[in-house]
């Protein structure tokens, strides 16, 4: 539940909608898992989704529970509520008539009557209903959680050594050859390899990253199936399965490092974007999962693996939101602009998280990059409790150094150069 609270706090720090959505979704999922419990894969995979099945039944359950309660002061409270309701109706009708009859009375009543903005009231009512449903769903889950850990999961049929080991040995040899080539590239010099005819550095880095990302995902699938069907009758069988699966995980970690290195080289050339930082984060998390699997296989701590994988995912989502990706994107691209070009059209679509970095730009670049953020903050009169720290910081920057709203003229001049 502590991790869920940290995830729920992400919107207080960032203005970007995409990491906020990920954090709140992950918070709901991890809270559901905490309410349902579970340590095996069945419980860990179904636990984050279990709360959704409680939402439709939570309202009838709450109404039935309230009806079944006895209220000693009910006979005293109901007459008071009825009297207040009748008085409110009478005051409303006659107050409206008096206000329309006399301007002074209208001014007096207008000052005494709280103002109501229907445009703001509707979304607040919707948010209140959503919050009520989530709270009731959580209460119903806590009262009657489902224990998916009790679902029977039969172990896979044990395969013979030859049938199981030959494919694993072949795959390890292939991965070993790839790792050896990567070592030659790394120690021989990336630039020396890229100087060969026909090799385009950008294509080498970009396409290689996506292919290696899929290699990592498919390897996790292979490891799961290999563990399911691994020979385990004798100590020699168990040692063989541990060795081959552990070696495959270790070699795949080198693949993860290679993919990360390729993306970093690509980002150095073309700049950081939301897609590039997102897939890099996913690749890093897959590397953490592989490391957890490797430790679980070597130490025999497979019972802790499901929760460790989920914990690594939610911690990763929390860190991803708290580091404010839009701010990192702006920082990296602004730093690159000191020695090259910058894509201002892309940066101006970032959230208020990017304002401190974009403020370092000069002239038309700064004006173009900050215009949309400035317009968004200028048209917002939200209360402090729905304003993030990133928005407050951006508003302070733009208050000290405002930008000119010139209907795109500054952006046109930037594109012209």
- Per-residue model confidence as pLDDT tens for the chain (417 residues): 678 888 888 888 888 888 899 898 888 888 888 888 777 777 777 888 888 888 888 888 887 777 766 666 666 777 888 888 888 888 888 878 877 877 777 777 776 666 655 566 677 788 888 888 888 888 888 888 877 777 666 766 778 888 888 999 999 999 999 888 878 776 665 555 555 555 555 566 666 677 778 888 898 889 888 888 888 888 888 888 889 999 999 999 988 888 888 888 888 878 899 988 998 898 899 889 888 888 888 777 667 788 888 889 989 999 999 999 999 999 999 988 877 778 888 888 999 999 999 999 888 888 888 988 888 887 656 665 667 888 889 989 988 888 887 777 888 887 766
C-alpha distance from residue 392 to each of 40, 276, 371, 417 (Å): 44, 27, 16, 33
Q: Is 340 exposed, middle or buried (CB count within 10 Å of its CB: 0-12, 13-18, 19+)?
A: exposed
- For tokens 């590039």, name the residue: 276
Q: How far apart are CA 47 and CA 29, in angstroms?
A: 8
Ramachandran region of residue 314, left (φ > 0), alpha (ψ -120 to 50) or beta?
A: alpha
Q: Which two tokens stand for residue 380?
A: 């917002």
Query: Where would I find the H helices in 113-200?
Result: 118-143, 161-188, 190-194
**pLDDT for res 29:** 86
Run of H or E residues at 315? helix 305-322
CB neighbour list of residue 137: distance below 8 Å, 6 or more residues apart: 51, 52, 54, 55, 58
**pLDDT for res 202:** 59
Q: How far apart are CA 311 and CA 242, in angstroms?
A: 24
| SS3 at position 14 | coil
DSSP string, 204-255: HHHHHHHHHHHHHHHHHHHHHHHHHH---SSHHHHHHHHHHHHHHHHHHHHH
- pTM, entire model: 0.75
**pLDDT for res 1:** 67
DSSP 113: S
Q: How far apart are CA 412 and CA 345, in angstroms?
A: 10
**pLDDT for res 328:** 94
Q: How far apart are CA 155 and CA 153, in angstroms?
A: 6
**pLDDT for res 87:** 87
**pLDDT for res 293:** 87
């Amino acid at each position: 539940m502590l991790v869920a609270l940290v995830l729920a706090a992400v919107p207080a720090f960032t203005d970007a909608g995409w990491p906020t959505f990920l954090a709140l979704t992950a918070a709901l999922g991890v809270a559901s898992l905490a309410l349902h419990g579970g340590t095996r894969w069945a419980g860990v995979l179904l636990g984050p989704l279990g709360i959704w099945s409680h939402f439709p039944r939570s309202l009838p359950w709450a109404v039935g529970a309230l009806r079944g309660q006895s209220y000693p002061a009910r006979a005293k409270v109901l007459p008071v509520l009825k009297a207040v309701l009748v008085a409110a109706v009478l005051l409303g009708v006659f107050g409206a008539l008096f206000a329309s009859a006399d301007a002074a009375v209208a001014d007096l009543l207008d000052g005494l009557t709280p103002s109501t903005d229907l445009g703001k009231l509707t979304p607040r009512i919707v948010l209140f209903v959503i919050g009520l449903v989530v709270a009731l769903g959580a209460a119903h889950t806590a009262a009657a959680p489902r224990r998916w850990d009790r679902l029977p999961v039969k172990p896979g049929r044990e395969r013979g050594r030859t049938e199981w080991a030959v494919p694993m040995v072949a795959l390890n040899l292939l991965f070993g050859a790839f790792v050896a080539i990567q070592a030659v590239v790394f120690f021989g010099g990336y630039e020396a390899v890229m100087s060969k005819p026909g090799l385009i550095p950008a294509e080498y880095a970009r396409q290689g990253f996506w292919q290696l990302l899929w290699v990592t995902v498919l390897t996790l699938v292979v490891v799961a199936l290999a563990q399911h069907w691994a020979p385990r009758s004798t100590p020699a069988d168990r040692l063989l399965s541990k060795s081959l699966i552990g070696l495959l995980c270790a070699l795949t970690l080198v693949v993860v490092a290679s993919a990360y290195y390729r993306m970093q080289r690509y980002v150095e050339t073309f700049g950081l974007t939301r897609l590039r930082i997102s897939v890099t984060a996913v690749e890093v998390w897959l590397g953490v999962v592989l490391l957890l699997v490797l430790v679980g296989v070597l130490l025999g701590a497979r019972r802790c693996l499901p929760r460790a994988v989920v914990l690594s995912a939610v911690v990763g989502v929390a860190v991803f939101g708290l580091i404010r990706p839009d701010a990192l994107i702006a920082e990296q691209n602004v730093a690159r602009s000191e020695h090259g070009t910058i894509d201002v059209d892309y940066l101006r679509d970032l959230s208020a998280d990017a304002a401190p970095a974009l403020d370092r730009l000069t002239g038309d670049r700064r004006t173009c990059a900050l215009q949309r953020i400035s317009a968004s903050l200028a048209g917002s009169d939200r209360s402090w409790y729905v304003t993030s720290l990133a928005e407050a910081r951006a508003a302070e920057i733009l208050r000290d150094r405002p930008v000119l709203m010139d209907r795109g003229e500054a952006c046109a001049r930037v594109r012209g150069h």
